[in-house]
Amino acid sequence: MIFESLDNVVSAFFPETQTRLTVANVTDTAKTLERNHLCGPTAGLIQAELVGGAVLMGTLLERPGQAISLRLQFPDGLLGGACIECTADFTIRGYTRQKVIAELDDATCSDEELFLKALGKKARCGVVTTEGTSASNTLFNVDSDDCITVTDILEEYFCTSLQRSALVQITGASQNGYVSCVHALMCEVLPSASASMQQIIRGRFDSPELTRLLNDGADLHSLAHALQLGTAEAIQEHTVRFACSCSSERVMAMLAALPKADLEAMIAENKAHDIFCHMCGKGFTITPEQLKTLL
């Protein structure tokens, strides 16, 4: 299941400052996931920011067929958890454990309070990279005195797990209860950069002006100019889109693996069964006649 998208991710290297800048617009992809999962405002907005984070992580993939997924648990947050996957060709799918959080969706509180109640102060994180039948898994925890953010999780992964000096900003906004825009930005300062340059760039990265530009959907060159990174080289651009590999054939293969007694019990109910893909929300209706073919 694939939808057309105007989303993209652009990266470039800046030799003068020894930095790499990546900027992503993932608005269409986030809207599609929100709609497919029938998310409420809170889950939809957090899921949107996670999509931006997953695309930044997707820049780590080097070969076709690879995929990277961010799997999260929030022990003291109402959202419960989430999983977002990005492939090497920047197709995205994923979900949040809770789709609707009534006490937050109907509340009139600040974004900080919303994220505190939805995510809490702790995140148990796993990053799984797959290629064919092989997989590698990285586990880490993020604890905060205030509240967990998606930016905290991404910076912890890049800076601590990968030992890469990365600065991350992810901005998402909603209007009338629906995602309206999502942008993600990452500036990686390479080890070859001087210590003074790293400090200067960090100061510029935290400026309100840069956040405003990102919120407004500024392109890579405008953001690089604000950071004073110099002239861009090796520019790479990729389309980002929602896609899921689920199909009726895969659903039937999954059902075929059930014990015979379970299949017979489903057939005995003499009604169609609706089965939903948890990664994209698409539903498949399986009839008793289809189930009988599996016996």
What radius of gyration, in Å, describes the C-alpha atoms of the chain? 21
2 occurs within a structural domain? no
Quick check: helix, strand or coil at residue 55?
helix
pLDDT per residue as tens digits for the range 105-163:
987 777 788 889 999 999 999 999 999 888 899 999 999 988 899 999 999 999 999 99
Indicate whether 211 and 258 sit together in one domain. Answer: no
Q: Kindly give, in sequence order, each residue whose CB lies less than 8 Å from that of residue 75, ignoring residues fewer than 6 positions away.
A: 120, 122, 124
Indicate whether 90 and 216 sit together in one domain. Answer: yes
18 occurs within a structural domain? yes
Indicate whether 16 and 86 sit together in one domain. Answer: yes
What is the model's pTM? Answer: 0.88
8 A C-beta contact, residue 7 and residue 52: no
Indicate whether 158 and 220 sit together in one domain. Answer: yes
Indicate whether 78 and 197 sit together in one domain. Answer: yes
Indicate whether 148 and 226 sit together in one domain. Answer: yes
Degrees to nearest 5, angle at CA 44 with 43 and 46: 65
Q: Which domain holds residue 265?
A: 248-293
Indicate whether 28 and 92 sit together in one domain. Answer: yes
Average pLDDT over every residue of 248-277: 85
**In which region does residue 279 sit, left (phi positive, over 0), alpha (psi from -120 to 50) or beta (all else)?**
alpha
CA dist., res. 20 & res. 90, Å (int):
19
CATH number of the domain that residue 257 is part of: 3.90.1280.10
pLDDT per residue as tens digits for the range 36-73:
999 999 999 999 999 999 999 999 999 999 999 999 99
8 A C-beta contact, residue 119 and residue 45: no
pLDDT at 112: 81
pLDDT at 281: 80
Quick check: helix, strand or coil at residue 139?
strand
3 occurs within a structural domain? no
Indicate whether 154 and 62 sit together in one domain. Answer: yes
CA dist., res. 167 & res. 21, Å (int):
10
Binned at pLDDT 50, 70 and 90, residue 99 comes out as: very high
CATH number of the domain that residue 205 is part of: 3.55.30.10
Indicate whether 218 and 99 sit together in one domain. Answer: yes
pLDDT per residue as tens digits for the range 153-207:
999 999 999 999 999 999 999 888 899 999 999 999 999 888 888 889 989 998 9
pLDDT at 2: 45
Which strands make up the sheet holding 134-143, listed edge to edge?
134-143, 122-131, 66-73, 81-87, 91-96, 241-242
173 occurs within a structural domain? yes
Indicate whether 153 and 260 sit together in one domain. Answer: no
CA dist., res. 162 & res. 165, Å (int):
9
Structural domain count, the chain: 2
Indicate whether 269 and 233 sit together in one domain. Answer: no
Indicate whether 272 and 208 sit together in one domain. Answer: no
Give kind and range of the element (H or E) at residue 114.
Answer: helix 111-119
1 occurs within a structural domain? no
